[in-house]
C-alpha cells in the first residue's frame, strides 16, 4: 500500500535543498531589481535618500503584520473571556494566534545528550528555524488585514500620483516632471513594502508549487521591478524603470480583487451561500471595472498642461468616464462602448473583456445554483502540479466522517487533495468545506454515484488509478445500515468492473454484512459494526477498555493543559488528574535496527521501558508470504530477527533519543507525523493556570485512605454468587418456561438464566445493534442479560428473542422512575449499558432528542445506584457502566462539572476534543459511533495504519472459539502474589520478570460507585493502590495474520 506521506527522508531533504535554492534566487532577484529601480528613478537624489525609504518599508511590513496579530489575539482573548467568564476558564486562543505569541515557550522535549557543543548548537538552530518558519507560515496565512492596509495606502498614493501626470494627446508620452519629490519617497516605501510582502510569502511557503500556484504572487510580481524592467525593453523604452512601475499600478485593483475573494471565503462561516455569491459578484465587478478604467487612463487618458480645472477634480472626472465605459462594456459583453486608440489599449481591452467573459458567467451560474440549482461540484478536481498526491473517498458518508478524513490528513502532515464522490447534496458538507479552508487542506466534492445506474465515467475524470488510496465507505448515520452496505458493495463491483486493482483500496462497512457477500481479495475491509460489538463485549470483562483503545489509536497529541494554579487544581477530580497522566500515549510501530538482531524479546522489552518508558507489547515479522504479529511472546524464547518491527505504547511526542538509541522509524511510521508543536503551543496557554504536580506523580489524594476500606468493601466481591441475594424474600409465581418477562434480576436468576452465576448485564434501551450483540453473546457464553425499558415486552418481538432465553430476561419499567429501577434491582447487575432507543421511542424523534433522553436516564440511574450502594455498603459487586450517544460532543452533559477549556475549543479544528478530555470518557464509561469511526479512520490511511487496526482488534479479543487470543485482561493488584511495591515501574518489572505478563495501564476505581479512571502506560514513578486493577497482556497469545 502506498504511504501517504510526502516521500522518503532523502526525497524530503532534496526538496528542502531545492526550495532553499529557489527562495534564494527569487528573493535575490527581487531585492536587487528593487534597489536598481529606486536608485535609477531620479538623478538628483542622494543615495541615502533612496536607501532609507527602502529600509523603512522593509521594517514596516513585518512590524505591522505582528501588530495586527497582537490586536487579533487581544480581541480573541476579550471575546473568549466573556464567553467563559462564568465557567472560570481562561480565554482560548485560536490555533493560529497561539503559534504567533512571542511569549509562548517552545515545547519541552527530552533530548539526546549531544556529543559536542557544535552539535547542540546545530540542533538548537534547526529547532529555532523550524519554529520561526512555522510561525511565519501562519502569520502570512492571517495577513489579510496587513495586506488591505498597505494595498489601500499604495492605491491612494497611486491615484494621487496620476493627478500630476500631464500630456496633451493620447499619442504623446506621459510627462512626470510635476510629481513632487515626497511622492517619490512614499513610492519607494510602497515598493519596499510589496517586495517584503512577497519575500515573506516565499519564505513562508513549504513548497515551490505553493508559490507558483498563487495568483496573488503573480499579481504582486507585476507591480515589482523585474516585470517593469522587461516591460521597459519590450514596450516603453523612453521611460525609466520607476515610471513603468507607476504605469503598472492599476494591478493593485486586481490584487484587491483576489484578496477580497480570500477574505469572503475566510469569513464565510455561518453566511448563506447566496449572500456569499452576491458579495463576490458585486465587489468583483467593481474592482475589475476599476482596474480596467485605471489601465485605460494610463494608456489613452489625457491631462493637458494648461488645464485650469483643479488637477484632482479633472483626473477624477476622466477616471469616472473610463469607469463608466468599462462598466457598460462588461454589461454588454464588450461590444463597442470603448474605442481603444492605441495598440496597447486595444490589447489591454482584449485581456479585460476576455476575463469578464469567463468570470461573470461563472459567478452568475454559481449564484443561480445557490438560489435554486443543484451544485454538482465544489472545489477543483485538478491541483497545481502533479496529480499523484490525492485520495478518493466514495460513498454517501455523513459530514462527520469527512471531517475525520480532513483532520487525519492534517495531523499526518500530508500534502494531499481529498476528492469525495457522493450522491448527497454538496450543501450538506458546507462546514467541512470551511474546515478544509481553515486547515488549508485541498478538498473537492463531486455529486456523482458510481453504483447501480451511476455515472462510471467520473472514475476516468478523477483518474482513480493514479490515486494514492481509495476509500469506499458506508455511513453509520442511517436507520438501515444494511441497505447502505449493499449500496457500498454495488460501488465495489463498479470499481472492479472498471479495472481498479484494489491494491490501495480500503472498505468500511457498518452492518453485520458477511464477508462472503463482499468481493474476495479486493481491498482491505474494516467493519464498524464488528468493531463495536467486540469492543463492547470486551469492555464488560475489562471496564475502561474503550477509552484505552481509542486513545491508543489517536495520531495526535491529546494532552490536556496542566494547571499550576493550586486553587483551581484542587477543583479537578483526583481521578481525572490521574487519567491525564496517560492521555498522550498511542500505539506505534518501529523497525528494529540490525544491530539488535539476535536479542531476546525480553531484553528488548526491558531496555525500551527502563530507558525510555515505552512498553513493547508485541512483535511484527514475516512468515512466508504473509506478515504476522504476536502479542507478548515473552517466555517463548523469541529472538529478534532481521526485518522485525516492535509494537510499542509510547508518548505521541516521542523523543529523538529514543528513535536514535533503540529503534529507527526508517520511514515506516510517516503517517504518524505529529503536529505536536501546534498543540503544545495551545497547551502553553494554560501553563500559568494548571498544576501538574499530582498528575505526573500519581500521588493519592488526601481522602483516599479515609475511604479505601469502604471502596474495597464495595469492590471486593465480584463473583457471580453476589447476584442472588441471601434473603430472597417473597417472589412472584414461577413464570412459564418460555417466558422471559420478569419483575426483577433476582427473579431472572432463579427462573430464567440457565447459568445464574454468570455476571448480569443490564441494558437500558434497545436498537437493532442489541439483537446482533445478543447473537455475539450467544457465541461467547460469558454473560447473562436483562433488557429494561418502558413497555419493552409489548414493543419488542419476543418470539425472535426466544432463541436467547437461556441468558436473556426482559423487565418492563420506566428508567426515569426510581420505584421501577429499585423494583428491577439494577444494583444487582455488574454492568449497566444505556443507549438510545429509536425502536421503542417516537419514530419522528431526532437524534438530539434521543441523546437528551439517554443522558437523563443515565444520570438518573447512576444517581440511584450510587446512593443505594453507598448507603447500604452491601457486599454486592461494584457496578460498571457504559453510555452510548449519537453525538459524541454531548458527552459533556453527562456530568455537572464546569466545562474545561478543551470542551469549548473550536470544534472546527477537531471534534474529538469534545470527548477526549471529558470526565465520563476518562472513566471509560462512554461510547459513540463517531468515536469508533474515528478509530477506523485513524487506522485506515496507510498499510501501517491498517496493521495498527488489526493489532487493536487483537487487543480487544475476547478469546472465543474463533479467536484463541485473550488480548488485554484485567488483574487485581491485591491478587498478585509476592508483590507489595507502590509504583507502576515496580509492578511492570515484577509481572514481566515473574509471570511473563506485560502491564500497559491501570484501571483505578474511585471511592464512589460507578466512578473510575483509565490510566494508560503511566510513568514508572506513578503511585498505585492495592485496590487498583492492572491491564495486562499475557504470553498465551497466538500468532495472527495481518
Closest CA to 669 of 380, 1005, 334, 413: 413
Q: Is 541 exposed, middle or buried (0-12, 13-18, 19+ CB in 10 A)?
A: buried
**Domains 377-522 and 719-877 fall in the same CATH topology:** yes
Q: Mind spelling out the 3-state secondary structure of 397-420?
A: CCHHHHHHHHHHHHHHCCCCEEEE
Which residue, among 894, 898, 941, 934, has the nearest Cα to 913 in the 3D structure?
A: 934
Return d(Cα 812, Cα 789) in angstroms, integer.
Answer: 6
Q: How confident is the model at residue 271 (pLDDT cuts 50, 70, 90)?
A: very low
Identify the residue whose cell numbers are 481525572.
576
| Torsion over CA: 903, 906, 907, 913 (sign) | negative
Label the pairing between strands 998-1005 and 1012-1016: antiparallel
Q: Mean pLDDT, the chain, as a whole number?
A: 73
Nearest to 61 by CA among 130, 154, 132, 131: 154
The pLDDT score that the predictor gives to residue 267 is 56
With a pLDDT cut of 90, the percent of the chain lying above it is 6
Q: Which residues contact 693 (CB under 8 A, 6 or more apart)?
A: 569, 699
Query: Where would I find the H helices in 646-797?
Result: 656-661, 676-683, 693-697, 704-716, 745-751, 768-780, 792-795
Segments in 473-614 forming alpha helices (H) = 481-498, 528-541, 545-553, 566-569, 574-581, 601-612
The CATH number given to 719-877 is: 3.40.50
For domain 377-522, say whether CATH 3.40.50.300 is its number: no
DSSP string, 844-904: T--HHHHHHHHHHHHHHHHHHHHHHHHHH--SSPPPEEEEEESSGGGGGGGS-SPPPGGGG
Residues 262-266, mean pLDDT to the nearest whole number = 63
Report, as an integer, the average pLDDT of 1013-1035: 89
> Domain-by-domain residue ranges, the chain?
18-101+122-249, 268-373, 377-522, 535-700+940-1041, 719-877
Q: Which residues contact 466 (CB under 8 A, 6 or more apart)?
A: 387, 388
**Best CA proximity match to 988, nearest among 695, 639, 615:** 615
pLDDT tens across 925-966, in order?
889 888 888 787 777 665 555 678 888 888 888 766 566 678
- How do residues 407-432 score in pLDDT, each as one tens digit? 777 776 677 888 999 888 888 888 88
The arrangement of secondary structure in 268-373, i.e. its CATH architecture, is Orthogonal Bundle (1.10)
Task: Check: CB of residue 861 under 8 Å from CB of residue 818.
Answer: no
Query: Comparing 231-245, 649-663, 802-816, which segment has the lowest mean pLDDT?
Result: 649-663
Q: How many CB atoms lie within 10 A of CB 447?
A: 18
Q: Is 292 in contact with 324 (CB distance < 8 Å)?
A: no
β-bridge mates for residue 525, sequence order: 507
Instruction: Cite the DSSP H helix spans in 734-803.
Output: 745-751, 768-780, 792-795, 798-801
- The β-bridge partners of 762 are 786, 832
DSSP string, 35-73: HHHHHTT-SS--HHHHHHHHHHHHHHHHHHHHHHHHHHH
Q: What pLDDT shows up at residue 663? A: 42
What element of type H or E holds 579?
Answer: helix 574-581
pLDDT digits (tens, 9 = 90+) for 116-158: 666 666 666 665 665 555 556 556 666 777 878 888 888 888 8
The number of helices, as runs of H, and strands, as runs of E, in the chain is 38, 23
Burial class (CB in 10 A: 0-12, 13-18, 19+), 333: exposed
**Strand ranges for 438-565 from DSSP E:** 442-447, 469-473, 505-509, 524-527
| 761: helix, strand or coil | strand
Q: How far apart are CA 569 and CA 84, in angstroms?
A: 17
Residue 723's pLDDT band (cuts 50, 70, 90): very low
Angle (nearest 5°) at CA 789 between 787 and 795: 90
Over range 48-61, report the average pLDDT. 82
Q: How far apart are CA 358 and CA 338, in angstroms?
A: 19
pLDDT of residue 526 exceeding 80, the answer is yes
DSSP notation for 164-219: T-BBSSTTSPPB-TTS-HHHHHHHHHHHHHHHHHHHHHHHH-SSHHHHHT-HHHHH
Q: Which residues contact 43 (CB under 8 A, 6 or more apart)?
A: none
- pLDDT at position 494 is 87
Residue 141, pLDDT score: 60
Residues in the chain: 1042
> Tell me, what's the pLDDT at 209?
73
Most confidently modeled of 335-344, 470-479, 489-498, 811-820? 811-820
Looking up cell 506485560 gives 998
Task: Tell me the Cα Rg of the chain.
Answer: 34
CB within 8 Å of 533: residues ≥ 6 apart: 769, 772, 773, 776
Residue 127 neighbours by CB under 8 Å, 6+ apart: 106
Name the band, by pLDDT with cuts 50, 70 and 90, for residue 704. very low
DSSP-derived letter for residue 439 is T
Q: What pLDDT is recorded for position 653?
A: 56
Dist CA 561 CA 901 (whole Å): 9
Nearest Cα residue to 891 out of 929, 940, 838, 946: 929
588 and 672 Cβ atoms separated by less than 8 Å: yes
Distance CA 934, CA 941 (A): 12
Q: Are strands 505-509 and 524-527 parallel, antiparallel or unpaired?
A: parallel
3-state secondary structure of 454: coil
Q: What is the pLDDT of residue 961?
A: 55
Task: Assign 685 a pLDDT band (cuts: 50, 70, 90).
Answer: very low
Decide if pLDDT at 21 tops 70.
Answer: yes
Give the three cell numbers for residue 424: 448527497
State the DSSP code for 429. Answer: G
Rounded distance, CA 718 to CA 759, Å?
9
8 Å CB contact between 826 and 861: yes
**Confidence at residue 984, expressed as pLDDT on a 0 to 100 scale:** 92
Residue with cell 460532543: 889
Q: Per-residue confidence at 404, pLDDT binned at 50, 70, 90?
A: confident
Question: Region 29-53: what's the mean pLDDT?
Answer: 76
Measured distance CA(230)–CA(237) in Å, rounded: 10
CA distance 915 to 921: 6
Task: Label residue 923 by pLDDT band (50, 70, 90).
Answer: confident
Give 58's contacts (C-beta < 8 A, 6+ positions apart). Answer: 192, 195, 196
pLDDT score of 557 more than 90: no
Tens of pLDDT, residues 842-886 = 777 888 889 999 999 999 988 888 877 665 544 444 678 889 998
Per-residue cell: 836: 438510545
- What does the pLDDT look like over 191-216, one tens digit per residue? 888 888 888 888 777 777 777 777 66
Other beta carbons within 10 angstroms of residue 236's beta carbon come to 18
Sign, CA torsion 840/841/847/852? negative
1012 C-beta neighbours (distance < 10 Å), count: 25
Q: What is the pLDDT of residue 810?
A: 92
Using DSSP bridges, classify how beta strands 626-631 and 645-651 pair: parallel, antiparallel or unpaired: unpaired
Let me know: does 265 contact 144? Beta carbons within 8 Å: no
- What would the grid cell of residue 940 be? 485506515
Residue-wise pLDDT tens digits, 311-341: 788 888 888 888 877 777 666 544 445 567 7
User: DSSP 3-state assignment of 341?
Assistant: coil
Quick one: residue 882, left, alpha or beta (phi over 0 = left, psi -120 to 50 = alpha)? beta
How far apart (Å, rounded) are the C-alpha atoms in residues 546 and 543?
8
Q: How many other C-beta atoms lie within 10 A of the C-beta of residue 547? A: 30
Contact, 839 vs 827, CB < 8 A?
no
Classify residue 276 by burial, with Cβ atoms within 10 Å: 0-12, 13-18, 19+. middle
Q: Which of 124, 815, 935, 52 is nearest to 532 (CA)?
A: 935
Check residue 140 and give its pLDDT: 62
Tens-digit pLDDT profile for residues 602-635: 888 888 888 888 899 888 887 666 778 888 888 8
pLDDT for res 173: 77
Share of the chain above pLDDT 70, in %: 67
The label of the residue with cell 526550495 reads: 19
Q: What is the pLDDT of residues 333-372, one digit of tens each?
A: 444 455 677 777 777 777 777 777 777 777 776 666 656 5
pLDDT tops 70 at residue 177: yes
Output the pLDDT for position 91.
Answer: 31
CA 479 to chain centre: 27
Amino acid at each position: 500500500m502506498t504511504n501517504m506521506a510526502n516521500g522518503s527522508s532523502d526525497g524530503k531533504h532534496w526538496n528542502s535543498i531545492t526550495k532553499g535554492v529557489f527562495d534564494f534566487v527569487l528573493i535575490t532577484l527581487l531585492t536587487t531589481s528593487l534597489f536598481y529601480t529606486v536608485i535609477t528613478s531620479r538623478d538628483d537624489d542622494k543615495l541615502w535618500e533612496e536607501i532609507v525609504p527602502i529600509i523603512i518599508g522593509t521594517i514596516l511590513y513585518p512590524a505591522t503584520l505582528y501588530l495586527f496579530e497582537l490586536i487579533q489575539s487581544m480581541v480573541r482573548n476579550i471575546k473568549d473571556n466573556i464567553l467563559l467568564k462564568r465557567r472560570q476558564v481562561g480565554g482560548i486562543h485560536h490555533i493560529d494566534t497561539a503559534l504567533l505569541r512571542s511569549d509562548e515557550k517552545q515545547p519541552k522535549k527530552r533530548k539526546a545528550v549531544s556529543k559536542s557543543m557544535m552539535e547542540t548548537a546545530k540542533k538548537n538552530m534547526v529547532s529555532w528555524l523550524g519554529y520561526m518558519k512555522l510561525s511565519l507560515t501562519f502569520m502570512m496565512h492571517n495577513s489579510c488585514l496587513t495586506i488591505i492596509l498597505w494595498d489601500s495606502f499604495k492605491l491612494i498614493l497611486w491615484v494621487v500620483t496620476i493627478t500630476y501626470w500631464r500630456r496633451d494627446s493620447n499619442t504623446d508620452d506621459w510627462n512626470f516632471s510635476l510629481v513632487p519629490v515626497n511622492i517619490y519617497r512614499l513610492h519607494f516605501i510602497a515598493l519596499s513594502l510589496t517586495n517584503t510582502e512577497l519575500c515573506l510569502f516565499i519564505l513562508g511557503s513549504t513548497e515551490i508549487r505553493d508559490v507558483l500556484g498563487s495568483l496573488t504572487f503573480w499579481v504582486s510580481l507585476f507591480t515589482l521591478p523585474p516585470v517593469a524592467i522587461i516591460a521597459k525593453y519590450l514596450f516603453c523604452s523612453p521611460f525609466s524603470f520607476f515610471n513603468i512601475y507607476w504605469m503598472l499600478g492599476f494591478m493593485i485593483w486586481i490584487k484587491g480583487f483576489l484578496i477580497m475573494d480570500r477574505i469572503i471565503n475566510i469569513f464565510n462561516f455561518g453566511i448563506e451561500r447566496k449572500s456569499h455569491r452576491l458579495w463576490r459578484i458585486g465587489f468583483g465587478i467593481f474592482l475589475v471595472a476599476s482596474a480596467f478604467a485605471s489601465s485605460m487612463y494610463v494608456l489613452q487618458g489625457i491631462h493637458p498642461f494648461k488645464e485650469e480645472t483643479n488637477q484632482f477634480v479633472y483626473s477624477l472626472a476622466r477616471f469616472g468616464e473610463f469607469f463608466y465605459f468599462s462598466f457598460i462594456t462588461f454589461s454588454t459583453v464588450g461590444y463597442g462602448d470603448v474605442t481603444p486608440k492605441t495598440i496597447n489599449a486595444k490589447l489591454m481591452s482584449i485581456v479585460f473583456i476576455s476575463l469578464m467573459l469567463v468570470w461573470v458567467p461563472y459567478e452568475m451560474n454559481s449564484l443561480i445554483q445557490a438560489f435554486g440549482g443543484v451544485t454538482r461540484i465544489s472545489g477543483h478536481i485538478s491541483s497545481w502540479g502533479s496529480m499523484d498526491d490525492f485520495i478518493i473517498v466514495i460513498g454517501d458518508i455523513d459530514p462527520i466522517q469527512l471531517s475525520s478524513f480532513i483532520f487525519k490528513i492534517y495531523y499526518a502532515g500530508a500534502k494531499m487533495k481529498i476528492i469525495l464522490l457522493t450522491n448527497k447534496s454538496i450543501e450538506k458538507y458546507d462546514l467541512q468545506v470551511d474546515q478544509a479552508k481553515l486547515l488549508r487542506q485541498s478538498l473537492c466534492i463531486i455529486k456523482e454515484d458510481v453504483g447501480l445506474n451511476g455515472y462510471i465515467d467520473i472514475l476516468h475524470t478523477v483518474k482513480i488509478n493514479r490515486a494514492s488510496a481509495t476509500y469506499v465507505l458506508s455511513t453509520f448515520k442511517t436507520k438501515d445500515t444494511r441497505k447502505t452496505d449493499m449500496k457500498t458493495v454495488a460501488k465495489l463491483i463498479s470499481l472492479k468492473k472498471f479495472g481498479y486493482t484494489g491494491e490501495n483500496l480500503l472498505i468500511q462497512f457498518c452492518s453485520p454484512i458477511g464477508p462472503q457477500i463482499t468481493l474476495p481479495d479486493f481491498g482491505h475491509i474494516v467493519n464498524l459494526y464488528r468493531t463495536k460489538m467486540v469492543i463492547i463485549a470486551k469492555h464488560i470483562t475489562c471496564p475502561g477498555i474503550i477509552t484505552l483503545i481509542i486513545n491508543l489509536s489517536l495520531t495526535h497529541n491529546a494532552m490536556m493543559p496542566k494547571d499550576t494554579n493550586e486553587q483551581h487544581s484542587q477543583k479537578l477530580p483526583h481521578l481525572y488528574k490521574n487519567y491525564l497522566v496517560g492521555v498522550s500515549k498511542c500505539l506505534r510501530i518501529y523497525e528494529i535496527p540490525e544491530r539488535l538482531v539476535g536479542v531476546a524479546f525480553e531484553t528488548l522489552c526491558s531496555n525500551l521501558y527502563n530507558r525510555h518508558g515505552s512498553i513493547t507489547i508485541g512483535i511484527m515479522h514475516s512468515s512466508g508470504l504473509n506478515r504476522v504479529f504476536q502479542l507478548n511472546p515473552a517466555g517463548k524464547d523469541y529472538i529478534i530477527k532481521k526485518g522485525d518491527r516492535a509494537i510499542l505504547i509510547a508518548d505521541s511526542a516521542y523523543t529523538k533519543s529514543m528513535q536514535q538509541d533503540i529503534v529507527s522509524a526508517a520511514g515506516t511510521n510517516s503517517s504518524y507525523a505529529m503536529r505536536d508543536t501546534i498543540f503544545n503551543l495551545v497547551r502553553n496557554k494554560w501553563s500559568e493556570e494548571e498544576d501538574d504536580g499530582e498528575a505526573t506523580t500519581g500521588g493519592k489524594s488526601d481522602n483516599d485512605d479515609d475511604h479505601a476500606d469502604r471502596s474495597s468493601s464495595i469492590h471486593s466481591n465480584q463473583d457471580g454468587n453476589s447476584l442472588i441475594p441471601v434473603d430472597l424474600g417473597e417472589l412472584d409465581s414461577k413464570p412459564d418456561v418460555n417466558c422471559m418477562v420478569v419483575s426483577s434480576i433476582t427473579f431472572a436468576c432463579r427462573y430464567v438464566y440457565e447459568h445464574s452465576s454468570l455476571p448480569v448485564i443490564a441494558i437500558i434501551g434497545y436498537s437493532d445493534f442489541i439483537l446482533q450483540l445478543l447473537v455475539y453473546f450467544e457465541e461467547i457464553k460469558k454473560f447473562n442479560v436483562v433488557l429494561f425499558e418502558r413497555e419493552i415486552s409489548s414493543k419488542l418481538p419476543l418470539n425472535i428473542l426466544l432463541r436467547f432465553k437461556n441468558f436473556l430476561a426482559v423487565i418492563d419499567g420506566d428508567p426515569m422512575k426510581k420505584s421501577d429501577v429499585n423494583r428491577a434491582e439494577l444494583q444487582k447487575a455488574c454492568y449497566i449499558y444505556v443507549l438510545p432507543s429509536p425502536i421503542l421511542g417516537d419514530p419522528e424523534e431526532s437524534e438530539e432528542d434521543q441523546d437528551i433522553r439517554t443522558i437523563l436516564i443515565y444520570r438518573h440511574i447512576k444517581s440511584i445506584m450510587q446512593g443505594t450502594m453507598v448507603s447500604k455498603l452491601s457486599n454486592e459487586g461494584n457496578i460498571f457502566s457504559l453510555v452510548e450517544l449519537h453525538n459524541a460532543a454531548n458527552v459533556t452533559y453527562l456530568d455537572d462539572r464546569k466545562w474545561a477549556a478543551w470542551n469549548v475549543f473550536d470544534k472546527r479544528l477537531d471534534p474529538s476534543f469534545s470527548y477526549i478530555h471529558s470526565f465520563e470518557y476518562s472513566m471509560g464509561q462512554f461510547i459513540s459511533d463517531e468515536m469508533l469511526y474515528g478509530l477506523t479512520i485513524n487506522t485506515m490511511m496507510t498499510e501501517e495504519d491498517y496493521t495498527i487496526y488489526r493489532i487493536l482488534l487483537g487487543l480487544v479479543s475476547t478469546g472465543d472459539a474463533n479467536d484463541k487470543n485473550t488480548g488485554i485482561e484485567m488483574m487485581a493488584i491485591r491478587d498478585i502474589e509476592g508483590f507489595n511495591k507502590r509504583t507502576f515501574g515496580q509492578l511492570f518489572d515484577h509481572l514481566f520478570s515473574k509471570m511473563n505478563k506485560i502491564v500497559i495501564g491501570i484501571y483505578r476505581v474511585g471511592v464512589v460507585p460507578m466512578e473510575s479512571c483509565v490510566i494508560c502506560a503511566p510513568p514508572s514513578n506513578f503511585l498505585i493502590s492495592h485496590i487498583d486493577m492492572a491491564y495486562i497482556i499475557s504470553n498465551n497469545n497466538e500468532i495472527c495474520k495481518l
